[in-house]
Structure 1
Amino acid sequence: MRRRRAGEDRAMTSIARIVDYETTGTPEDADPEVIEMGSIDVNLTSRLLVHQSAFQSLCRPRGPIPAVTKAVHHIWEEDVQHAPPARDLWDRLLAGAPSWLVAHNAKFEMHFTPPWGIPWIDTYKVARIVWPDAPTHSNQGLRYWLELPCDRKLSEPAHRALPDAYVTAHLFIRLLDHKTPEEMAKISEYPALLKRMNFGKYRRNGIDMTFERCAQDDPGYLEWIRDTSDMDEDTKFTARYWLQKRNK
């Protein structure tokens, strides 16, 4: 008989709610707003989508929708003029107290979601651990690379809330073959662990360098990234991780 992994008893009766938002901008922009939200549940007992749980709604923002974001999701002011504001929809989106909230690059969704006391899972970060050599770790890129069984009618158009949540749900189900929800949530607490150094001197010289190899061949460069550079948190975290591994 197969031995259950830690946390698996809880997963037998829990629901993971996969969420996705379209917005007027990124968290770094001035006062970005949610203009569409979508969600769909995964039953962790059966590892199947709960199609009747699917939820999608446009949301009326206070301000205009910038052209640069319209070019991504193609949502216009006229589409949302009669929609409820996002603040009136959180109770509906988060109803039923799911055990987990799941998103691809969950830092984005977490910025907009009110504190609800539900742990988050970031499928982007987990996918980087499970499939470090994937040619891309974008939502749609993993969909095609893994040949996920997504219904084309339900997964398109891309960059809309419910279709993107639907694709992430399939990705999450595939990740369950490799990690428990508890393990995924733990991974999601940290910055993403990167594989290749597609920047800086190695990119200029056309060298395919990994962080792991750099830690052995050029640790001073990783120390500079960790201690002095203004690179993003994922890059600095990965440099710190491999330097610690090297020094053990």
Structure 2
Amino acid sequence: MKIRVVDLETAGTGKDRRQGKPAGICEIGWTDVTEDLRVLRPVSHLVNPGVPMPPDSRGVHHISDDMLVGAMDPTTATRTLMGGMEPGDIFAAHRAAFERVFFGGGSFPWICTMICAQHLCEDAPSFSNQTLRYFLGIDREFEWPELAMPPHRAGPDSYVTAHILARLLVSRSPGQLTTLTTTPVLQKTVRFGKYEGRPWSEMDEGFLQWVLDRDFDDETKHTVRHHLQRIRRTGNPFGN
């Protein structure tokens, strides 16, 4: 059994892709993690997405249209990512929901290291793969430290994420991480507005209902529902 940690750089965003706007993969990268938690050497390939590179995308990964002339096509890229995958293997990515907009991974299960870290590393200052890299102190575990740079390129990012995954696997099985990936995260603090940084447990019923009635993300609404239920169950906005 292996876990293939995937990272994609793109021309355009996942939102563009979902809305039918021009967007595609411009680089694939992966790093395999073995059953005994060895992190293998990362692999990456440029991909010609068939759409022009938007300036804001290039500003993230610095991949230009000229660099993609003669690169593999998207169909070959996704076939390459599937190469060597066997029954029982798992795909992983740091923000798996993003990667899966561009690459479904067939019938293989997925682990999202960002969501798992939100469950298991609550004290991290944020949950980007680079922040977790330094929060967890994984640099000393790199067999090829030069391959962890530069950030925002598919090979290096998959290599960093693979080490984050290996650290999570010390305390949780692959099956437990796939379960955590689909388990909503309870946010500890408010992440917007005048109450930013305050614990959700300190918010009153009126504010919680206000958030629930507006267009916030699913994770925020899950957290709000949790605290509304607590208040209505106990009658005490500040107690369990």
Indicate whether the TM-score tops 0.5: yes
Structure 2 distance, partners of 1:76, 1:191, is 37
| Equivalent position of 2:237 in the other structure | none
TM-score computed with the length of structure 2 as normaliser: 0.87
The verdict on how the C-alpha distance between 1:144 and 1:202 changes in structure 2, with shifts beyond 3 A counting, is same
| Equivalent position of 2:99 in the other structure | 109
Contact 1:130 1:178 in 2 (8 A): no
Contact 1:21 1:37 in 2 (8 A): yes
Deviation at 1:117, TM superposition (A): 0.1
| Equivalent position of 1:4 in the other structure | none
Structure 2 distance, partners of 1:184, 1:220, is 35
Contact 1:191 1:234 in 2 (8 A): yes
Using the TM superposition, name which of 235-244 and 29-38 deviates more: 235-244
TM-score computed with the length of structure 1 as normaliser: 0.84
Is 1:49 paired with 2:39? yes
Is 1:235 paired with 2:227? no
| Equivalent position of 1:174 in the other structure | 167
Structure 1 distance, partners of 2:226, 2:113, is 20
Q: What SS class does the counterpart of residue 9 from structure 2 fall into?
A: strand
| Equivalent position of 1:118 in the other structure | 108
Q: Of 36, 44, 47, which aligns to 2:27?
A: 36
Alignment of 1:77-96 (within 5 A): 77-96=65-84
Deviation at 1:115, TM superposition (A): 4.9
- The AA in structure 2 aligned to 1:27 is G
Structure 2 distance, partners of 1:90, 1:198, is 35
Contact 2:82 2:105 in 1 (8 A): no
Structure 2 distance, partners of 1:240, 1:183, is 24
Deviation at 1:63, TM superposition (A): 1.5
Deviation at 1:25, TM superposition (A): 1.6
Contact 1:139 1:167 in 2 (8 A): yes
- The AA in structure 2 aligned to 1:188 is T
Is 1:225 paired with 2:211? yes
Structure 2 distance, partners of 1:43, 1:243, is 43
Q: What SS class does the counterpart of residue 102 from structure 1 fall into?
A: strand
Deviation at 1:234, TM superposition (A): 1.8
Report the aligned-residue RMSD: 1.8
The verdict on how the C-alpha distance between 1:83 and 1:138 changes in structure 2, with shifts beyond 3 A counting, is same
Deviation at 1:191, TM superposition (A): 4.3
Is 1:22 paired with 2:9? yes
Contact 2:91 2:105 in 1 (8 A): no
The verdict on how the C-alpha distance between 1:39 and 1:82 changes in structure 2, with shifts beyond 3 A counting, is same
Q: What SS class does the counterpart of residue 170 from structure 2 fall into?
A: coil
Structure 2 distance, partners of 1:84, 1:132, is 40
Deviation at 1:244, TM superposition (A): 4.1
| Equivalent position of 1:9 in the other structure | none
- TM-superposition CA deviations, 1:69-101 (whole Å, max 9, x none): 111101011111110111112222112225111
Structure 2 distance, partners of 1:109, 1:125, is 14
| Equivalent position of 1:144 in the other structure | 134
The verdict on how the C-alpha distance between 1:97 and 1:245 changes in structure 2, with shifts beyond 3 A counting, is farther
Unaligned runs of 5+ in 2: 235-240
Q: What SS class does the counterpart of residue 40 from structure 2 fall into?
A: strand
Structure 2 distance, partners of 1:193, 1:57, is 37
- The AA in structure 2 aligned to 1:86 is P
Q: What SS class does the counterpart of residue 119 from structure 2 fall into?
A: helix
Q: Of 152, 163, 169, which aligns to 2:156?
A: 163
Contact 1:193 1:238 in 2 (8 A): yes
Unaligned runs of 5+ in 1: 1-13
Structure 2 distance, partners of 1:244, 1:97, is 43
Percent of pairs identical after alignment? 35
Structure 1 distance, partners of 2:53, 2:184, is 30
Which segments of structure 1 move beyond 3 Å, counting only runs of 4 or more? 190-193, 241-248
